[in-house]
Amino acid sequence: MVDINLSGKTKIVTLIGNPVEHSMSPRMHTVAFKEIGVDAIYIATRVDNDKVGSAINGIRAFNFLGANVTIPHKIEAMKYVDEIDPLAQQIGAINTIVNDDGYLRATNTDGLGFMRSLKEANVTLKNKRAVMVGAGGAARAISFYLLTEVDELLMTDIKKEVAMALISNLKKTYGEKKISFFESTKENLKEALEPAHLLLNCTPVGMSPQADKTPVSADLLRSDLVVFDAVYNPLETLLIKNARAKGALTISGIKMFLYQGVEAFERWTKKKAPVEIMEKIIIEGLTKKK
């Protein structure tokens, strides 16, 4: 049992979303605050769609340290902050707010978390070709950061219009850099992967309770691929298991979740996050859910 002493001086960080009941962030961040001696707690608050503005104004009113924003409010929340960093503006979504004496600065740490997870695994992206399966929310943040380094990005989604809209936005930022769509068939995926260095799953395929599914069949994987899966529940998805069996370097979505939290934590506290403890809390939470 974690001993947390609360007082009138205790600061608060909140998670704004709907639903939020499943979130592991309250325990992860609250334990991390205590570990580094910051008198703060983290709470999750369910916010209805028509109350987002009021919730964000509450950050100022209650003098919170800041907030995280999750589904489905990452876009709507942009209307109510004072400043958004340029890349988050281009992504079109925020997930972190820092309260600077009533002035709310927003960013998107999802892409930063992704890049940090690759860096930890010693993955280099220069002159590389990436294939992304899925063009939804996770893909937006990842792709904007990914294209700061890779030479080429091929993308597919079962909803072509979703992928094409994202590609259009990416081209506004990165010009005629090689960004292209391919229809979601096994043959097309095989062709796209043959010269690729990095495979990214940004779909929910393989997420519990459908852990027996994979977005990419095992026969398309190989040992010289780097395979990233944004899904982090279960701890090891079927895609990750299959890729590891082929000898590929694999990166779990746990790392992205961890490091997006680390990036936010360090913005709120201006201190180095206790990364090992935060990762331990995530793994404990996922293990208990089994």
Rounded CA gap, 162 and 141, in Å?
14
Own/partner long-range contacts of 70-76 (Cβ < 8 Å, ≥24 apart): 70/15, 70/16, 70/17, 70/20, 70/23, 70/95, 71/17, 71/18, 71/137, 72/17, 72/18, 73/16, 73/17, 73/18, 73/47, 73/49, 74/108, 74/137, 76/49, 76/52
Q: Determine how many CB atoms are found less than 10 A away from the CB of residue 285.
A: 16
Classified as helix, coil or strand, 194 is coil
Buried b (16+ CB within 10 A) or exposed e, 139-152: bbbbbbbbbeebeb
Q: How many CB atoms lie within 10 A of CB 36?
A: 14
| Contact of 262 with 281, CB cutoff 8 Å | no
φ/ψ of residue 193, rounded to 5:
-80, -25
Side-chain-side CA neighbours of residue 175 (13 Å): 2
User: Maximum Cα–Cα distance for the chain, whole Å?
Assistant: 61
Contact (CB, 8 A) for 198 and 123: yes
Token pair 């994979």 in the structure block, residue: 214
Helix (H) or strand (E) holding 209: none
Phi, psi of 217 (to 5 degrees): -65, 155
Active site residues: 74
Nearest-angstrom CA–CA distance, 278 and 113: 13
